[in-house]
A and B are shown apart, each in its own frame.
Chain A
Amino acid sequence: MPPVPPPFDPELAAALELIKDLVPPSLTMEDIETVRQGPGMRMLADLDLTAGGAFAVEERAVPGPQGAPEISLLICTPTGPAPARPRPVVYHVHGGGMVVGTNRVGVDVALEWARELDLVVVSVEYRLAPEHPHPAPVEDVYAGLLWTAEHAGELGADPERIVIAGASAGGGLTAALALMLRDREGPRPIGQLLLCPMLDDRNDTPSTHQMAGLGVWDRTANDTGWTALLGERRGGPDVSPYAAPARAEDLSGLPPAFLDVGSAETFRDEVVAFASRLWQAGGIAELHVWPGGFHGFDGFAPQAALSRSARAAHLDWLRRLLAE
C-alpha cells in the first residue's frame, strides 16, 4: 500500500493549519485529561443552545441502565407554535473519541436541523472511557433512548418518528444503538444519521495507515480511543458489535442510514465498508464520501464550500426521511 494520502481540500487544509495546535492528530492516553479541561470544552459551556430563543432548553436526569447512575438528557424543544401533529425527535449522541465530550458537543448541528425542520432534540450524556469502559457508554445511550421514546408525549414529540444521529464516536454509538434496538426489540427509530462514524476497533484499514499523523484523528488517536473503551480486548476476537458496529455479522433489519466520511480521514474505509454491508444485507443507505475532507471537517470549518455541501446533504436526507 503506497503511503501517499489523498490531498486535503484546499480550504480544509488551510483550516487545519489554523487548528493544528489545538487539535493535534495523535491523541494519547496521557492527553485525555488535558483535552477534557481544554478551551474547547469551556467554549461549549457558553454555547447559546436556545439559538436566540428558538428553543426551550432543559437538562433532565433520567434513569440509567439497571444498577447504574442516572444519566442527563439535554432536551431542546422548539418554542414556536405547536404543529398539528407531534414533532419528530432527533436523538443525538455526542462525539469525542469515546473519551471526552458532553451532551453539548455537536448539539448545535442538531439544533440547526431542528430549526429548519421543527424537531425536538434530545442529546444524551453517557459515561466516558477509560473510567467507564464498554458497555457503559452504549448502555447509557440505550437507556436515554428508551426514556425518550416513553416520554415523547411530554415533549410534544412523536415516539414513532425518532431519528438517531451522531458524529464520530457518537456515530459509532448511534450505529450500535440501532443494532441494540433491533436485537432487543426496542423502539424502532425511522433513520440513523452516522456522520464520520467510529465503527471499527481493529484500526487496520488502508485509510488508518494512510492518514497516520495527518488531520485531527489519526491511527494513534484511534488506538487511544478504542483501547480506552475496550482495554486489551481491542482488536481481538471477542469484541461486541455493540462496542464496534463493524464487528456485527448481521446488518439486516436496520433503519435507513445516512453515512458520510471524508476521503482524507482515518475512518474512510471502515465507513465505506459498513455502507456496502448495509446494502448487501438488503438495507437502505445513503453514503457520501467528501473528497479531501478531514475528520469532522464540516464542524471545524463550517464556512468551507465542501462543508456547506455536506451540511446541505444532511439536511436534505432528513427532509426526505421526514417527508413521508
Chain B
Amino acid sequence: MKELAGRLTALDPAAGEAVRVIAYFDRLAEGRAGAEALVRGAAVLAGVPARLVDAERGVRIRVEADGVRRDTELPPDPRWPSAALTPGGADALWLERPGARPSVVDAVILERAAGAVRLVLDRTRGRAPLEDPALVETLLDATAPEAARLHAARRLGLDPRVPARALARPGLPPRVVAAPAGTPVPELSAGRAGIGPAVAVAELPGSWAAARTALRFTAEGTAHDPGPRVVHADELGGIALLADLVIPGAQPPPDVRALERAAADAPWLLATLHAVTTTASLRAAAAEATVHHSTLQDRLVHAEQLLGWPVRTPQGRLRLHLALTMRRLTRP
C-alpha cells in the first residue's frame, strides 16, 4: 500500500497549514525526538534550509529542505525569519528564506520548533552548560598543557574553532561562554561581573585573567559603592594599568583615603561624585544624582573643601575619577 497518496505531503510546503505544523512538532516532542529531527522538521515543512545555533551550548545544526544535514560555519543572515529558544533570548533558530517576509506558517514552524528544541537542549545538554568546575578550571589554567586545556574545552562542548570568553563573578565559579563573531555577551543575572575578551579557546587563561581584572573595576552600584556592575576588559583601555598599581586589601593611596574621610562626613558624597565623573555635564550629573542644579553646585563646593582638590576642572575631574576607580581596586 506504499505511496497510495503519493509522496509525503510534508514535502509540499503548501500543505503545511498551521494545524498540521503544530501536530507535527507535538508528535516529535511526544516521541522525544532529538534536536536534529526538530531542525529537519522545520526545514522540511518550510521547504527551505533551517539552522539551529546555540553558541552557549555549542550546538550548530543545519538541515536542508530535503532533510539532509549540511552544517555551515557561515553566520545566519539577520534578515531571515528567526526565533529565540527562550522569550527575550538571542535568536537561535532560522529559516533560510532570503528576501521574503515570514509567512504565518513560517512563524508557527519557528515558534513550535524553537519551543521543542529548548526542551530537548535542556534535557540533553543541561540548563547550565559549561559549568563543570574541574573542567573549567583546567581550561582556564595557564600552567596546564595546551592539549589538556583543549581536551577540557571539547568535554565542555566548546567548538575549538569558535572564540570564547571567560566571565568572573565574585564568590562564584568561573564561567566560559562561546562567543562567535558578532554575537552579544549573554545576559547575566544581577550582580558584579568582569567579562574577558573573546579569544581562541587555547587563549582562555588570558581571557580569564582579564575578566578577573575587569571584575576589580566593578561596583555594587549603591550609594556607598557607586559604579558599573559589569565591566568588559575590552573597554578598560589604559585604565587597566591601574589594577597592577593598587594592591587589593593594602593601604589605599592618599586620594582614596581622602575620599573615605569625606564620605564619612557627607553620606551623599560618593554617589554625587560618581555622577559627576560619569556624565557629560553638571546638569546631567544633577539629574543623575536627582538633585537640583544649584544643590549640586553647593555640594561640589563642599566636596572640594573636604577633599582638598577641585572637582570642576578637567584635571580635578580626572583626579577624582582615578580616586573613585582606585577605591574599587583596593577592595580586598
- Give the nearest-CB partner of A267 in chain B: B1
Q: Within the assembled complex, what's the spacing in Å between the Cα atoms of A170 and B37?
A: 30
Interface check A97, CB cutoff 8 A: yes
Chain A 16-41: CB-based contact to B (< 8 A → 1; otherwise 0): 11110011000100000001001111
Q: Within the assembled complex, what's the spacing in Å between the Cα atoms of A35 and B1?
A: 11
Contact of A167 among B2, B10, B11, B24 (CB under 8 A): B2
From residue 55 to 108 of chain A, which have CB atoms closer than 8 A to chain B? 95-97, 100-101, 105-106
Interface check B100, CB cutoff 8 A: no
CB distance from A167 to the nearest CB of B (A): 5
Q: Which residues of A contact B (CB under 8 A)?
A: 7-11, 13-19, 22-23, 27, 35, 38-41, 43-44, 95-97, 100-101, 105-106, 167-170, 195-196, 216-217, 221, 225, 295-296, 299-305, 308
Contact A11 B37 (CB under 8 A): yes
20 example contacts (A-B, Cβ-Cβ < 8 A) are as follows A14-B27, A16-B27, A17-B20, A18-B15, A18-B20, A19-B10, A38-B5, A40-B4, A43-B6, A100-B4, A101-B4, A106-B2, A167-B3, A216-B1, A295-B1, A296-B2, A299-B8, A300-B7, A303-B66, A305-B37
**Size class of B's contact patch?**
20 to 34
CB distance from A183 to the nearest CB of B (A): 27
Task: Select the residue from B1, B15, B36, B37 with max chain A CB neighbours within 10 A.
Answer: B1
Contact A300 B23 (CB under 8 A): no
Q: Within the assembled complex, what's the spacing in Å between the Cα atoms of A225 and B2?
A: 13
Interface check B41, CB cutoff 8 A: yes
Residues of A within 8 A of B41 (CB): 11, 14
Q: Within the assembled complex, what's the spacing in Å between the Cα atoms of A273 and B222?
A: 78
Contact of A302 among B9, B37, B67 (CB under 8 A): B67
Contact B2 A22 (CB under 8 A): no
Give how many A-B residue pairs fall within 8 Å (CB-CB): 131
Contact of A303 among B1, B4, B5, B44 (CB under 8 A): B44
Contact B44 A10 (CB under 8 A): no
- Give the nearest-CB partner of B41 in chain A: A14
Contact A18 B8 (CB under 8 A): yes
Given contacts A18-B9, A303-B44, contact A13 B3 (CB under 8 A): no
Given contacts A9-B31, A308-B67, contact A15 B6 (CB under 8 A): no
CB distance from A18 to the nearest CB of B (A): 5
Contact B15 A10 (CB under 8 A): no
Residues of A within 8 A of B185 (CB): none
Q: Within the assembled complex, what's the spacing in Å between the Cα atoms of A305 and B33?
A: 11
Contact A301 B8 (CB under 8 A): yes
